[in-house]
Chain A
């Protein structure tokens, strides 16, 4: 099974912690970085041009550059535009999901009910990447 390099963008520190636990427990991803918002993400990408992730998982609601900003900027930057961006958020509202997909998000995953349910979430994410062959 392919192990994907991933960057997680999430502002809530508690959430970050539990997400990381979930990812680690499955051994399906290699976490390159866990960053608090879009601003930090783009600084990181600039500083690590030879270490681009296979996939970016980003929260939507963040201070500074939020999830929408992340999609727009990744998709409009030629050197990053191939990287699939998957948005994850508490909201399951259709208009918000549609807006993300319209901006260029590869998919939108609703966050698990509680922080402690991240393992199935991570498995589903991996399965999705495999099925859709986002990473070549």
Chain B
């Protein structure tokens, strides 16, 4: 209690606790004791007069404790009247509200921080609306995004940011209603800037309530998403393009697998190649395309493992279509990772190479058939050139070998004619003999020639011929000349039978033995006939110890009517070996001589050993 002049008349224990003074110390002290600036009696006096005037006065401010320590104190002054209604003094209630003040200060500081922060934000427009939607605050972001300065926008209704059609639809009001009802309203939509241009905005409207749960307004947060929307649209367009590109590709099956190998997408090419529609295949494990054997071998899982480890797996192999048929595929599996480097699945590109394989095979087949044709042509060509050679040979034979004896006969008949005219008979007998010889030789030549050409024409017969019997027959035909020459003939044979034309083979052996007998130089000709098996052939050898053949002449021995020796020494028409060659040729064998001049000659020939299959064919 204070007296009417402001001096302490009484103090309670609470007052002593707050001020630090004892009740005695406080007695008769001026109120100004608690005021700063050294007993500010001016201020305390003013406050007392105000209390008197208004019936009550309250003030807050720094107060002084005993020992000059400060505290934030609240003082409530009220005049007190006595029963005569005259001023008796003042009641003074003093409270230490330092803690409360501290909290208040901190709150204010924090609010200031938030305010500065909000105002400084540039990328977001953040502002407050009152309960009716009028703008109360404005930040830098709002200025930047919407173009208005705070002084020109505060107090305006937020519908200023909406397009005419939105206003017609009462969109701003609706948004507030929703925000009130749900606490917040959020949307992406078009908003209008100060200059009239529109931008794509993300808007969050939050209803704000007081402690008494009374709506006091709204916070509004707006982001300009125009750039993001553009990028998103570009990305979406680009994705769309790629997706439609991939989907429309028809020659390649292109699809995605998830990280476990289940099909996640499907394109037209995949549909065409594999036969499944997207709705029946998506979600299935991709092993469905593999033949059973591959699945048993764990091939699908292995391929994913390789793709995971190496980034890629590629191969060609058989795959299955929906209808179970196989196709030859080129397959590339690529591991797909997201931005964080985590495997999200695999892309699989499949090409059907069946057509290519087929055309490759067709190409090869056609190449093969061309090669076969070419071979046949070559064979025909060889045959033709043989025929041509034979024709040439025939021309040569007719023009030389056959004309010569005719000319000889004619020559001697002419001489005889001359001699008869001159009545000279001395040489007539000789000339007649010479003409007869020439005629005989002519006949022999013609017969041989016919025989030789007959060999080319007749089909040769193929029969099983006993080799031992073959030798016997040939030697029997030569019996008289063998006896006459006193030749020793030995036979070494390890082959039972051969296949061929028996008559021709007898002639072949006979000619070779006869040749060996003829070109002998020894008193006792040694002739050896051998027959052995060698590399699928049957090889014959007829050896003599005769005069031999000079190296340069080895190739000439088989020419028809070619004689290497004069007729006087070794008579003959020169057709025997030509016939041998022809017979061997017709049996698809080979014939060749080996010789040491003066020591002897061996004629070899081979015949193909017949297999049972060839026999039956």
In the complex the two chains form, what is the Cα distance from A90 to B395 in whole Å?
A: 12
**B415 and A116 within 8 A (CB):** yes
**A14 and B563 within 8 A (CB):** no
B414 interface hit (Cβ, 8 Å): yes
B408 touches which of A12, A37, A61, A116 (Cβ 8 Å): A12
- Known: A14-B408, A111-B407. Is A93-B395 also a contact (CB below 8 A)? yes
CB proximity to A under 8 Å, residues B546-572: 562-567
Give the total of A residues in contact with B, Cβ under 8 Å. Answer: 23
In the complex, how many angstroms separate the beta carbon of B483 from the nearest chain A beta carbon? 28
In the complex the two chains form, what is the Cα distance from A93 to B563 in whole Å?
A: 21
- Known: A18-B411, A114-B407. Is A63-B399 also a contact (CB below 8 A)? no
Interface SS of chain A: helix, strand, loop or mixed?
loop
Name the CB-closest residue of B to A67.
B400
Give the total of B residues in contact with A, Cβ under 8 Å. Answer: 23
B565 touches which of A18, A64, A115 (Cβ 8 Å): A64
In the complex, how many angstroms separate the beta carbon of B609 from the nearest chain A beta carbon? 37
CB proximity to B under 8 Å, residues A73-122: 89-93, 95-96, 111, 113-116
In the complex, how many angstroms separate the beta carbon of A61 from the nearest chain B beta carbon? 4
B403 interface hit (Cβ, 8 Å): yes
In the complex the two chains form, what is the Cα distance from A11 to B414 in whole Å?
A: 21
In the complex, how many angstroms separate the beta carbon of A124 from the nearest chain B beta carbon? 18
| Cβ contacts B287-313/A at 8 Å (1 or 0 each) | 000000000000000000000000000
B404 interface hit (Cβ, 8 Å): yes
- Known: A14-B411, A114-B414. Is A90-B567 also a contact (CB below 8 A)? no
In the complex, how many angstroms separate the beta carbon of A8 from the nearest chain B beta carbon? 16
In the complex the two chains form, what is the Cα distance from A93 to B398 in whole Å?
A: 10
B401 interface hit (Cβ, 8 Å): yes
Inter-chain contacts of A91 with B (CB < 8 A): 396, 399-400, 403
In the complex the two chains form, what is the Cα distance from A49 to B408 in whole Å?
A: 35
B537 interface hit (Cβ, 8 Å): no
In the complex the two chains form, what is the Cα distance from A92 to B236 in whole Å?
A: 97
In the complex, how many angstroms separate the beta carbon of B445 from the nearest chain A beta carbon? 12
Name the CB-closest residue of A to B402.
A90
| A and B contact pairs by CB, cutoff 8 A, 6 listed | A14-B434, A60-B400, A63-B565, A64-B566, A115-B414, A116-B418
12 other A-B residue contacts (CB within 8 Å) besides A90-B404, A91-B399, A91-B403: A12-B408, A61-B400, A63-B563, A64-B565, A64-B566, A66-B562, A90-B400, A96-B395, A96-B396, A111-B407, A113-B410, A114-B415
- Which residues of B line the A interface, CB within 8 A? 392, 395-396, 399-401, 403-404, 407-408, 410-411, 414-415, 418, 434, 562-567, 574
